[in-house]
Chain A
Amino acid sequence: MTATTAHAGFRRLSGLGWLLANIATVTGRNLHRLVRVPTLIAFATVQPILFVLLFNYAWGGAIHPPGVQRYIDYALPGIYVLAIGFGASQTGVAIADDLTTGMIDRFRALPMARSAVLAGRTAADLVRNLFVLLLMTTVAYAIGFRFHAGLAAAAAAIGLALAVGVAFSWIFGLLGLLVRDPESAGIGGLLAIIPLIFTSSTFVAVATFPGWLQAFAKINPITVTVDAIRVLCVGGPAAEQIRQALAWIGALLAVTVPAAVIRYRRTTAT
């Protein structure tokens, strides 16, 4: 890493230090927004709590998935992913909004790292998701949820949910850059998540689906990741499921990160 001084007050970092400084600045911006934009506050607080309570009390009496005593033990890992996914749809909205308001033009005309706007977005999402996961876990604990596989597995479950969140953030960041219109990005994001969530093992065991749907549900990345988080919560042999979940997350990131950065470098407001 080298540092050169152009003139007074400038600290021209290059390489990693410069990238990290840029990402930190953009992350700070997004965290400020997170506590000031009413929609974002709602997506980060009210909605996750509602999901935990509604799904537990409305469906918990009717659905008895195998392998758990209480429905909330089965459902919470899925609700983690649902809440993170819905929250991530706001990332698409924010990126599209930055495009239409000219913020991205402003950033692109600055001597900053080309990936920092998207990476800073993702980093802020990570902070929000950690908060959301802890909030939901607390609420779930109050209504009977328990981690059954010990503290390390519980931490791994949260970590895996955060990793899913990183993939979601990049997917929706790319969507926002492609769709360009904030409202379309929001609707498009939810329309993409809802079918994937409901055709997965999020709320019911895949075995209860009709055969043709089972085939899809088994390869649905939501099923794969939710199952891996669930096994870390309720206990059981987890290695293979974690490996599959990480493979999905890695594959998604390998496609969306370069695609989003390339798209960002070329995009301008219209």
Chain B
Amino acid sequence: MVERLAVEARGLVKRFGDVMALAGVDLVVPAGEVLGLLGPNGAGKTTAVRILTTLLPPDGGWARVMGLDVVRQSGEVRRVIGLSGQYAAVDAYLTGRENLLMIGRLSGLSRSSARRRADDLLELFDLTDAAGRTARTYSGGMRRRLDVAASLVARPAVLFLDEPTTGLDPRGRLGLWRLLGELTARGTTVLLSTQYLEEADRLADTIVVLDAGTVIASGTPEQLKARVGGDRLELQASPGEDPTALAAAMVGLGSAPPTVDVDAGRVAVPLTDGPGILPDVAARLSAAGLRVSDLALRRPTLDDVFLTLTGQPTTTEPSTTDTVVVGRPR
């Protein structure tokens, strides 16, 4: 074998009654890499994670983790994986340290190793000060950090993170991204499911896009974004101003010619370099003596990915954090 595969799944099928949760999914994660499993609610991300972590048997297909079959060698698989599920599954009435000690003991660590490991992880996840408090006093971000720490107690060869930042505020999300970034930089193999393109972009080496139980695209974040298109500058002409003049002033700015919606008075410019373009935009506007009533820099969202790949918008709520808005949002 040229490349060692940490996770390999072929033709995974799972039905829940009439619902086809997974309709033949292939997944491959080479050792040391991070796979982002991207998709809206109900796409089958959690089902895939549950099958790979031995929580659910597949109805069809097979999967191996570190070469171990998830059905026939489920006990062995559980010794090499860490799971941080969809909820921050920590015992609210145990302290942070007690939670980690419990998981360490249940993972087969001796008492002293479990204690050392707990202290190391509390330190790494910035929870040392809160280690003696029960988890119910923690913020959502702290609970999530403790939950991810718990999944690392046994030094798993493969870490599964199911929507690790869902429900976190932007600050908690950034904090967790930083930690996960450090983790993946050390070579931990990770399968990460997420609804956020930005998250997958930031953490994953490869992204697999899942929709209605089927893989609809896969590739590096760059390849995926190239298919979707990069950032987009949107300019709203002031009332009475000619949007075509605005468009003319922006020619040569982006990666493709500006498009004009004359009726709406709006100009859109596809960009490759997002916020870096803003000084140039301001210079061009003042040089041409033009005024705009609104100016927004949009990053491609999961919605854009799905619109491009399927022609259908996702059913999830549009994420507001994926848009950088300058001036008055419309």
Contact = CB atoms under 8 A, between A and B. Distances in A.
Contact of B110 (A9, A32, A106, A109): A9
B284 interface: no
A102 B87 contact: yes
Contacts, number: 88
Given A25-B102, A36-B134, A10 B108 contact: yes
B192 to A, nearest CB: 16
Nearest to A104: B89
A105 interface: yes
Nearest to B75: A111
B86 A6 contact: no
A134 interface: no
A24 to B, nearest CB: 8
Contacts of A36: 93, 134
Interface residues of B, number: 33
A8 to B, nearest CB: 8
Given A108-B55, A109-B83, A103 B91 contact: yes
Contacts of B58: none
Interface in A206-245: none
A38 to B, nearest CB: 10
A141 interface: no
A33 B186 CA distance: 36
A21 B87 contact: no
A247 interface: no
A167 to B, nearest CB: 26
A32 B106 contact: no
Contacts of B116: 9
A193 to B, nearest CB: 25
Contacts of A102: 85-89
B299 interface: no
A29 interface: yes
Contact of B91 (A12, A13, A29, A111): A29
Q: Which of A6, A33, A102, A103 counts the most B-chain CB atoms under 10 A from its CB?
A: A102
A268 B116 CA distance: 31
Contact of A112 (B55, B86, B106): B106
B247 to A, nearest CB: 51
B109 A33 contact: no
Interface string A4-26: 00101111110000100110011
Contact of A32 (B88, B93, B113, B117): B93
B56 interface: yes
Interface string A87-112: 00000000000000111011111111
Contacts of B55: 105, 108-109, 268
Interface string B241-254: 00000000000000
Interface string A33-77: 100110000000000000000000000000000000000000000
A196 to B, nearest CB: 30
Interface string B87-100: 11101011000100
Given A102-B89, A106-B83, A109-B55, A29 B94 contact: yes
B150 interface: yes
A110 B107 contact: yes
A111 B83 CA distance: 12
B54 interface: yes
Interface string B47-72: 00010011110000000000000000
A12 B106 CA distance: 11
A269 B108 CA distance: 24
Interface string B136-160: 0000000000000010001000000
Interface of A: 6, 8-13, 18, 21-22, 25-26, 28-29, 32-33, 36-37, 101-103, 105-112, 116, 268-269
Shortest Cβ-Cβ A-B pairs, 7 listed: A9-B113, A102-B89, A102-B87, A109-B83, A111-B78, A106-B89, A25-B105
Given A105-B83, A109-B55, 6 more contacts: A6-B79, A6-B108, A22-B106, A103-B91, A106-B85, A106-B103
5 contacts: A9-B117, A10-B108, A28-B102, A36-B134, A268-B56
Interface of B: 50, 53-56, 75, 78-79, 81, 83, 85-89, 91, 93-94, 98, 102-103, 105-110, 113, 116-117, 134, 150, 154
